[in-house]
Amino acid sequence: MKNEQKQFDEKQVDWYEIDQEGEKTISLRDRLLMHRVLIRRVIGAIIVIGLVVWLLMFVISSFFSSSNDIEQSTRLYIESCQSADDVEKCIASAAPRLAQQTGDTAYCDELEGDDYDSCAALSALTSLDADDCKKIEDQETRDSCGDAIVTQTMSDDYTYSDCEEYSSSEKVDNCHALWAQNASINGNCDNEIISDAQCKYGAIMAEAIEAQDPTKCYLVGIREYKYTCLEMVGPGDKDFDGLDADEERYQGTSDEDSDSDDDGLSDYEEVRLHGTDPTNPDSDGDGYDDGTEVIGGYDPLG
């Protein structure tokens, strides 16, 4: 060993130490550096193993935690049923009620047949997860569940092809028809699917909606479009005062003048806010217009 130390070449190392006999020897630091590749591999392997173990523990704990949460929630729900008029009916509703509240089909796992399908559908309509609908055994219920989710999740700017998500050709056709109608109302007539007639009457519908004038809807030559127009416009509110034509007619006010008695208050303000007579500019007969009294901080009715 001593002879080996005499052959020590200090140029080959960065640091060296002096042993008890005064001979130069390689330091611990340089010994570690000489095996740094092996050390790195060992440390890397330890880290990887640690991460794998942690991940497994996390998955296992999450599973049991979820199961325990479901079990506890169900137990608490059943306990609350003890004060119900029909205890058995209340307990039977525990799974579907909790599935509907949480959107978790795990609450349905103990059910079978129609009970499971009904429970899973309630859960899916809360989570809006179409995959939950696929767990339903009955075809009709499964299709209805999926169609409901398509309708609820469809964006306002849905496309013609988005309609293909529906389960039946009838629902697809209805969706296509509604898409074409909305496109024609918005003036998007550059699609070959939309006919000239649809484009023309869609423009009239747009005018009726903007003017809040239901009489314009009767100019629409496509029956379905006409009914949609009348439904969207309703009684109408040509003066945009917040009272529709039916109520204006009932109050004896004009649907083309937002302030029928010209007292400085709109018909809406008189009817909804102040309770004054929208056809009489001086409801309390004191010589001052209702609008003047309200602006001045006085009571227009006394």
Q: Is the predicted pLDDT of residue 125 greater than 50, yes or no?
A: yes
Three-class DSSP labels, the chain: CHHHHHCCCHHHCCCEEECCCCCEEECHHHHHHHCHHHHHHHHHHHHHHHHHHHHHHHHHHHHHHHHHHHHHHHHHHHHHHHHCCCHHHHHHCHHHHHHHHHCCHHHHCCCCHHHHHHHHHHHHHHHCCHHHHCCCCCHHHHHHHHHHHHHHHCCCCCCHHHHHHCCCHHHHHHHHHHHHHHHHHCCCCCCCCCCHHHHHHHHHHHHHHHHCCHHHHHHCCCHHHHHHHHHHHCCCCCCCCCCCHHHHHHHCCCCCCCCCCCCCCCHHHHHHHHCCCCCCCCCCCCCCCHHHHHHHCCCCCC
- Other Cβ atoms less than 10 A from the Cβ of 264: the count is 15
Percent of the chain with pLDDT over 70: 74
Residue 176's contacts (CB-CB under 8 Å, 6 or more residues apart) are 160, 163, 193
pLDDT per residue over 194-242, tens digit each? 999 999 999 999 999 999 999 999 999 999 999 999 999 999 999 999 9
**pLDDT for position 74:** 66
Q: What is the residue whose two structure tokens read 């004060």?
A: 83
The structural domains of the chain, with segments of one domain joined by +, span 2-81, 93-153, 156-234, 256-296
Of 108, 69, 111, which is closest to residue 125 (Cα–Cα)? 108
pLDDT per residue over 174-196, tens digit each? 999 999 999 999 999 998 899 99
Q: What is the residue whose two structure tokens read 């130490």?
A: 17
Q: Is the dihedral of CA 9, 14, 20, 22 positive or negative?
A: positive
180 token code pair: 């074409």
pLDDT per residue over 18-34, tens digit each? 555 555 555 555 555 55
Residues 256, 231 contacting (CB under 8 angstroms): no
Q: What is the residue whose two structure tokens read 């859960």?
A: 123
Length in residues, the chain: 302
